[in-house]
């Protein structure tokens, strides 16, 4: 069995990291696979270091029709048994165009929960014999868009739980981010784009700062909304307690040092940052949107509140600031749940079973 994977993202964000986990594990199992990705991208460097076979193709995005031609040539050269498209940045429409007429079965992973019209969904997914939703929430969106149930399967994202077993270096964390011993460190980890909901967290923090002067917020991520968020921070008088940390390749080293992760996204496929925080034993507060109720067991591994409800978000954060025992309870439950239900091994097993089913002509 030989799988050709297509991932056109430049950074090793959540989706690309899942592709890396999958291709690395398949390689370690002796299953033939090759990763098509951008030259010098983060996943290119990580995959090569892990011994994954790589083919580099340039892709300028959804409108780069030449990418479809280049990918088709790569497919004909490599002669894979299955093609697996992962990225929406040219990997779905153009990937589907590239494989059309090759007689090689193709699958695609869907990672976002935004709605699509039946017409667009029909065009996007027509070339693929299977569409893999990373959460039940995304599967629901696809059903509403008219996707045939027989072509739909759910394989949830995974987290590298073993990477969070080492004790956290609290001193290094506080030095790196300028925190005092008594500070309560809250983080949000997401691209700086509207649907991630940063503004709701900032509004909640503005209500909390008087009663909880120890509260500090670290915003990890980058994106076009940074200027607007900085303006909101200044307007709310939060400049002394909110900092931007940008995109950090070493973020996993610091996750276990956090007191709380807040994920106020209004739309989310599943939430890799949430899975990682849970694996590190950090409780999560978030909006009950998209796949978040699958990533966070409300009341067991974290607290979920209605989307856009700033008052409820404020209350959930305050509750965990005031209760170290509850934070420990939720954090430990989250760690165990990630180990049991979101392991890389289980995710890879599900993909291998899908691939084998396709090649054997199964449903």
pLDDT (tens digit, 9 = 90+) per residue, 152-210? Answer: 999 999 999 988 988 889 999 999 999 999 999 999 999 999 999 999 999 999 999 99
Of 294, 351, 291, 275, which is closest to residue 141 (Cα–Cα)?
A: 291
**SS3 call for 217:** strand
Q: Based on the fold, state whether residues 118 and 255 are members of the same structural domain.
A: no
Q: Do residues 116 and 168 both lie within one domain?
A: no
pLDDT value of residue 362: 61
Q: Tokens 């077993």 — which residue? A: 165
Provide the 8-state DSSP code for 222: -
Contacts of residue 42, defined as CB under 8 A and 6 or more positions apart, other chains included, come to: 10, 11, 12, 16, 249
Does residue 73 sit in the same domain as residue 99? yes
Model confidence at 246, in pLDDT bands (50, 70, 90)? very high
Q: What's the mean per-residue pLDDT of the chain?
A: 94
Q: Residues 180, 321: one domain?
A: yes
CATH number at residue 141: 3.40.50.2000
Task: Give Cβ neighbours of residue 10 (< 8 Å, ≥ 6 apart).
Answer: 38, 41, 42
pLDDT band at 12 (very low <50, low <70, confident <90, very high): confident
- Look up the domain containing 111 and give its range: 2-158+343-359
Strands 302-305 and 82-85: unpaired
Mean pLDDT of 277-301: 96
pLDDT band at 93 (very low <50, low <70, confident <90, very high): confident
Note whether 223 and 347 are same-domain residues. Answer: no
Among 301, 295, 297, smallest CA distance to 281 is for 301
**CA–CA distances in Å: residue 333 to residues 161, 168, 296, 302:** 13, 18, 10, 9
Residues 242-248 have a mean pLDDT of 95
Cα separation, 63 vs 89, whole angstroms: 9
Q: Are residues 45 and 58 in the same domain?
A: yes
Claim to verify: residue 41 and residue 97 sit in the same structural domain: yes
Structure tokens at 317: 């954060």
- Is there a single domain that holds both residue 169 and residue 124? no
DSSP per-residue codes, 103-122 = ---EEEEE-------HHHHH
SS3 content of the chain, % helix, strand, coil (to 5): 45, 15, 35
Mean pLDDT score, 251-261? 96
The pLDDT-based confidence of 249 (bands split at 50, 70, 90) is confident
Q: Tokens 């935004």 — which residue?
A: 114
Q: What is the pLDDT of residue 113?
A: 83
Rounded CA-CA distance 356/292 in Å is 30
Q: Is 189 in the same domain as 328?
A: yes
Entry pTM: 0.88
User: What integer pLDDT is reported at residue 273 of this predicted model?
Assistant: 93
If asked whether residues 49 and 114 sit together in one domain, one would say yes
Percent of the chain at pLDDT exceeding 70: 99
pLDDT for 363 equals 54
pLDDT tens digits for range 107-119? 999 998 888 899 9
Domain count, the chain: 2
Cα 220 to Cα 75, 187, 235, 247, 330: the distances in Å are: 37, 7, 20, 6, 22
- The rounded radius of gyration (Å) of the Cα atoms in the chain is 21
The pLDDT-based confidence of 216 (bands split at 50, 70, 90) is very high
Residue 264: Cβ-neighbour burial (10 angstroms; 0-12, 13-18, 19+): buried
The answer on 148 and 14 residing in a single domain is: yes
In this predicted model, what pLDDT tens digit does every residue of 291-322 receive, in sequence order? 999 999 999 999 999 999 999 999 999 999 99
pLDDT at 165: 86
Alpha carbons 309 and 256: distance in angstroms, whole number: 27
What's the CA gap between 7 and 85, in Å, rounded? Answer: 7
Q: Is residue 333 domain-shared with residue 214, that is, in the same domain?
A: yes
Give the residue carrying structure tokens 């959540």: 14
What pLDDT, on the 0 to 100 scale, is given for residue 327? 97
Indicate if the pLDDT at residue 123 is higher than 90. no
pLDDT at 13: 83
DSSP state letter for 298: B
């Amino acid at each position: 069995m030989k799988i050709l994977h297509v991932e056109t993202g430049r950074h090793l964000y959540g989706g690309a990291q899942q592709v890396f986990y999958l291709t690395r594990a398949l390689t370690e199992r002796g299953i033939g696979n090759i990763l098509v990705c951008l030259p010098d991208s983060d996943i290119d460097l990580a995959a090569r270091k892990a011994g994954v076979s790589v083919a580099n193709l340039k892709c300028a995005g959804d409108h780069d029709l030449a990418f479809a031609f280049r990918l088709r040539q790569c497919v004909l050269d490599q002669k894979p048994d299955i093609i697996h498209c992962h990225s929406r940045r040219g990997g779905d429409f153009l990937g589907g165009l590239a494989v059309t007429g090759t007689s090689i079965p193709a699958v695609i992973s869907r990672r976002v929960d935004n709605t699509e019209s039946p017409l667009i969904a029909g065009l996007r997914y027509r070339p693929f014999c299977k569409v893999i939703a990373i959460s039940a929430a995304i599967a629901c969106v696809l059903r509403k868009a008219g996707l045939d149930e027989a072509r739909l399967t759910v394989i949830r994202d995974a987290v590298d739980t073993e990477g969070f077993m080492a004790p956290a270096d609290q001193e290094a964390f506080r030095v790196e981010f300028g925190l005092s011993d008594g500070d309560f460190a809250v983080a949000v980890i997401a691209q700086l784009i509207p649907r991630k909901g940063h503004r709701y967290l900032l509004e909640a923090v503005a209500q909390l700062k008087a009663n909880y002067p120890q509260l500090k917020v670290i915003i990890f991520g980058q994106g076009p909304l940074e200027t607007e968020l900085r303006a909101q921070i200044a307007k709310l008088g939060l400049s002394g307690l909110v900092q931007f940390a940008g995109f950090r390749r070493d973020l996993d080293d610091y996750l276990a040092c956090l007191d709380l992760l807040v994920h106020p996204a209004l739309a989310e496929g599943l939430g890799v940052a949430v899975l990682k925080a849970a694996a590190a034993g950090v409780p999560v507060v978030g909006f009950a949107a998209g796949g978040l109720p699958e990533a966070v067991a409300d009341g067991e591994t974290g607290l979920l509140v209605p989307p856009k409800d700033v008052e409820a978000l404020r209350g959930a954060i305050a509750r965990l600031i005031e209760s170290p025992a509850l934070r420990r309870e939720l954090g430990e439950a989250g760690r165990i749940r990630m180990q049991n239900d979101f392991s890389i091994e289980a995710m890879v097993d599900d993909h291998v079973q899908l691939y084998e089913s396709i090649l054997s002509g199964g449903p």
